[in-house]
Structure 1
Amino acid sequence: MVEIKTAKTHKGKRELEKRAPKLVESGKKTLILHGTKTSGVLNAVLKEIYHLKKDCAIKYSRKNENIKPFESGGETSLEFFSLKTDCSIFVYGSHSKKRPDNLTIGRTYDHHIYDLVEVGVENFKPMESFSYDKKLAPKEGSKPFITFVGEGFENVEELKHLKEVLLDLLRGEVVENLNITGLDRAYVCTAVSSNKVFLTHCALRLKKSGTVVPRMELVEVGPSMDLVVRRHRPPNDSLRKEAMKTSREKPKKKEKNVKKDAIQGKIGNIYIPDQKIGEMALPNKAKGIKRERREAKLKNESGEHASKRKKDD
C-alpha cells in the first residue's frame, strides 16, 4: 500500500496549492538529469542548457540507473523527481553504442509523463569556441526571441512536436508586455531536413533605424548544435484535452469589503477607527481660539465706550 501524505499545516496546504495544475500557468522549471553512462559532449551540452536556464532550472549531477523514459516502468523515477522538485520539463542525457549523445526532452502534467522527444546531438560547439564582444553577452534571466525557420515545422509531425517542446523549454516565463530594450538574445531553430534541426543561440545588437523600432543584428554567441530526431511519443487525445483547458476569463483576485448590488452597483465598506477627540492635542494658536479672543476684545471695547458716554452725560 502506498501511504498518502496530506498537509497538516496552513503553510503545507499553500505549497500543495502552488504545485497543483492551474488554468493560468506560471513559469515552468526545468530538471536536468544524467543517465547511467554519458559522454564528454553530452556533459557539456547539459551544462550549457543549465547555464542558459540557470534562473529556473535544477541540475542533478549523479548518475541515474533506473530511468528509461520510453519503457514501461522506467518513468517512475522521473515522475518522482518531478514531484520532488516541482519541475514540469526535464532534460535527460544518456549515451550508448546504439544511440550516442542522446537527449530526451519531455514534459509532465500533474507530475506524470505528458510527452517525450528523443534527439541525438551532433556538431556541438560550446560558448567558449565563439569570439565576440563580451558586452553583448546576454544577461541571465532575460526574455528571448525564438524563431523557427523552415517548412518542416509545419508539415512534418516529428518537427511539429519538437517545436512545441523547444518552445516550452526555452521561452521562460510567459509575460503580456515586453520592453524592446530588454531583449538581448534569440534562439534560431532551422529545419535542415525532415528529421534534423540546427539550433543556435545569438545575441541581439540594437542599432538606429530612423524609426521608433530599432534595427536588430544577430551575433552568434553559442552554444550551437544539430538535433536529429530519433523517437517521439505525443500525448494521447484525452490527456491533451485535459491539459489544454483554458479559462475564458482570467480569475480575478478577491476584493475585500466590496459587494455588488443589481440596483446600486458596487458598494464598498470603509472602516474608520474611533476618534478620541478628548485625547487629541490641540495647537496653542488655533484659528477658532483667535476668533473668540478677537470677539471678546471687541465686546470689552464697546463696553468701555458705553461707560465713558454715561459719565460724560
Structure 2
Amino acid sequence: MLHIKTPKSGRARRELKKIAPKLVETGKKTLILHGTKTSNVINSVLTEIYHLKKDNAVKYTKRNDNIRPFESGGETSLEFYSLKTDCSLFVFGSHSKKRPDNLVIGRTYDHHIYDLVEVGIENFKSMQSFSYDKRFAPLIGSKPFFAFIGEGFENIEELKHIKEVLLDLFHGQAVTNLNLAGLDRVYVCTAVSSNKVFFTHCALRMKKSGTIVPRMELVEVGPSMDLVIRRHRLADESLRKQSMKTAPELKIRKEKNVSRDVIEGKIGKVYIPDQQVGSVPLPNKSKGLKRERREAKTKGEGKTHVDKKPKQQDS
C-alpha cells in the first residue's frame, strides 16, 4: 500500500491548491531551458522570448545534458521541470553541427509531453537592432493581435501545427473583456514556403484619420527571424482525446424551444394548451336587469307610488 502524505501547514495546502486541476485554468506558464551547447543566436532568442513573456515565464540558465525531447527517455528531466515549475509550455534551445541554432517548442498535458515542433533560426534580428520611438513600445502583459499570412497555414500539416503552437505560446491569458486601448502589439507570421515561416513582432501606432476610427500603422520592434521547420511530432490520439474532455459543469445545456437570430436575437416559443371553454362552468353575474331598473327609476317610468291604507283598529 502506498503511503499518502497530507500537507500539515497552511502554506503547503495553498501551494498544492495552486497546482491542482481547476474548472477554469489560469494562464499557461512557459519554461525556457538551455541545452548542452548553445550559440549566441539561441541565447539571444531565448532571452527575448523570456522578455516577451516576462509576466508568465520561468527561465533556467543552467546547461542541461540529458534533455532530448524527440528521443525516448530524453524527456524525463523535461517533464520533471514542468511539474516542478507548473509550466505547460516549454522552449528548449540547443546548437550542434547537425542542427545549428535549434529551437524546440512544445506543450505538455498533465506534465507529460503532448506535442513538439523543432525549428531552425535564420536571419535573426534582436530588439536592439530596431530604431523607433520608445513611447510606442508595447507594454509587458498587453494582449497581442496575430496575423497569419499565407494559405499554407490552412493546408499544410507542418504550418498548421506551428500555428497552433505559436498561438499557445504568445497569446497570454484568456480574458472575457478586453480594452481596445490596451491592444498595442501584433505578431505577424508569413508562410514563405511549405516549411519556412517569417516571424516578426510589431507595435501598433494610432494616427488621426479624420474619422472616429484611427489609422493604424505597424512599427517593427523585434525580434524578427525565419523559422525553418525541421521536425514535428503531433499528440498521441488517446492523449489528445483525454485533453479535449470538458468537465460536465462547463458543458452548455441546450435550451428547449429557444432559437437565435442575427436580426431578432433570442427567439422563444411558448406552447399554450387547448382551453376547453365549452365545458367550463361560468358564474351567472348578469347585471343587465339591474341597469334597466336603474335607468327606469331615473326617467320616472315604471310603477307609480300608491299610498298604503291605514290599518283599521278593532273596537
- Which residue does the alignment assign to 1:141? 141
- Match runs of 1:101-116 below 5 Å: 101-116=101-116
Q: Distance in 2 between matches of 1:127 and 1:33?
A: 21
Going from structure 1 to structure 2, the CA distance change for 1:161 and 1:101 (only over 3 Å counts) comes to same
- Which residue does the alignment assign to 1:171? 171
Going from structure 1 to structure 2, the CA distance change for 1:18 and 1:52 (only over 3 Å counts) comes to same
- Which residue does the alignment assign to 1:275? none
> How far is the alpha carbon of 1:13 from its aligned partner?
3.3
Q: Distance in 2 between matches of 1:207 and 1:229?
A: 37
> How far is the alpha carbon of 1:250 from its aligned partner?
4.4
- Match runs of 1:42-121 below 5 Å: 42-121=42-121
Structure 1 length-normalised TM: 0.76
What letter matches 1:37 in structure 2? K
- Match runs of 1:284-295 below 5 Å: none
Going from structure 1 to structure 2, the CA distance change for 1:5 and 1:39 (only over 3 Å counts) comes to farther
Q: Distance in 2 between matches of 1:99 and 1:4?
A: 45
> How far is the alpha carbon of 1:246 from its aligned partner?
2.8
Query: Is 1:243 the counterpart of 2:243 in the alignment?
Result: yes
Going from structure 1 to structure 2, the CA distance change for 1:53 and 1:2 (only over 3 Å counts) comes to farther
Going from structure 1 to structure 2, the CA distance change for 1:242 and 1:213 (only over 3 Å counts) comes to farther
> How far is the alpha carbon of 1:17 from its aligned partner?
3.1
Query: Is 1:198 the counterpart of 2:198 in the alignment?
Result: yes
Stretches of structure 2 that go unaligned for 5 or more consecutive residues are 252-315
What letter matches 1:238 in structure 2? S
Going from structure 1 to structure 2, the CA distance change for 1:14 and 1:126 (only over 3 Å counts) comes to same
Going from structure 1 to structure 2, the CA distance change for 1:185 and 1:66 (only over 3 Å counts) comes to same
Q: Which moved more, 1:187-196 or 1:138-147?
A: 138-147
- Which residue does the alignment assign to 1:263? none
Q: Distance in 2 between matches of 1:109 and 1:235?
A: 10
- Match runs of 1:272-287 below 5 Å: none
Q: Distance in 1 between matches of 2:190 and 2:2?
A: 46
Going from structure 1 to structure 2, the CA distance change for 1:150 and 1:3 (only over 3 Å counts) comes to farther
> How far is the alpha carbon of 1:2 from its aligned partner?
9.8
Q: Which moved more, 1:23-32 or 1:59-68?
A: 23-32
What letter matches 1:199 in structure 2? F
Q: Distance in 1 between matches of 2:208 and 2:3?
A: 63
- Match runs of 1:122-271 below 5 Å: 122-247=122-247, 250=250
Q: Distance in 1 between matches of 2:211 and 2:246?
A: 38
> How far is the alpha carbon of 1:26 from its aligned partner?
1.1
> Over residues 178-211 of structure 1, what are the superposed CA-to-partner deviations in whole Å (9 max), with x where a residue is unaligned?
1111111110011110000000000000123344
Q: Distance in 1 between matches of 2:21 and 2:81?
A: 17
> Over residues 22-62 of structure 1, what are the superposed CA-to-partner deviations in whole Å (9 max), with x where a residue is unaligned?
34221111110000000011101111111111111111111
SS at the partner of 2:7?
A: coil
CA contact (8 A) 1:142 1:182 kept: yes
- Which residue does the alignment assign to 1:33? 33
> How far is the alpha carbon of 1:248 from its aligned partner?
6.7
SS at the partner of 1:192?
A: strand
What letter matches 1:93 in structure 2? G
CA contact (8 A) 1:117 1:229 kept: yes
Going from structure 1 to structure 2, the CA distance change for 1:193 and 1:18 (only over 3 Å counts) comes to same
Stretches of structure 1 that go unaligned for 5 or more consecutive residues are 252-313
> How far is the alpha carbon of 1:121 from its aligned partner?
0.3
SS at the partner of 1:21?
A: coil
CA contact (8 A) 1:200 1:220 kept: yes
What's the RMSD between the two structures over aligned residues? 2.0
SS at the partner of 2:42?
A: helix
Q: Radius of gyration: which is bigger? A: 2
- Which residue does the alignment assign to 1:279? none
Structure 2 length-normalised TM: 0.75
Q: Percent identical across equivalent pairs? A: 76
What letter matches 2:181 in structure 1? T
> How far is the alpha carbon of 1:14 from its aligned partner?
3.6
> Over residues 216-254 of structure 1, what are the superposed CA-to-partner deviations in whole Å (9 max), with x where a residue is unaligned?
110001110000011111111221111122347649xxx
**Greater percentage in helix:** 1
CA contact (8 A) 1:23 1:245 kept: no
Q: Distance in 1 between matches of 2:214 and 2:76?
A: 49
Aligned length: 251
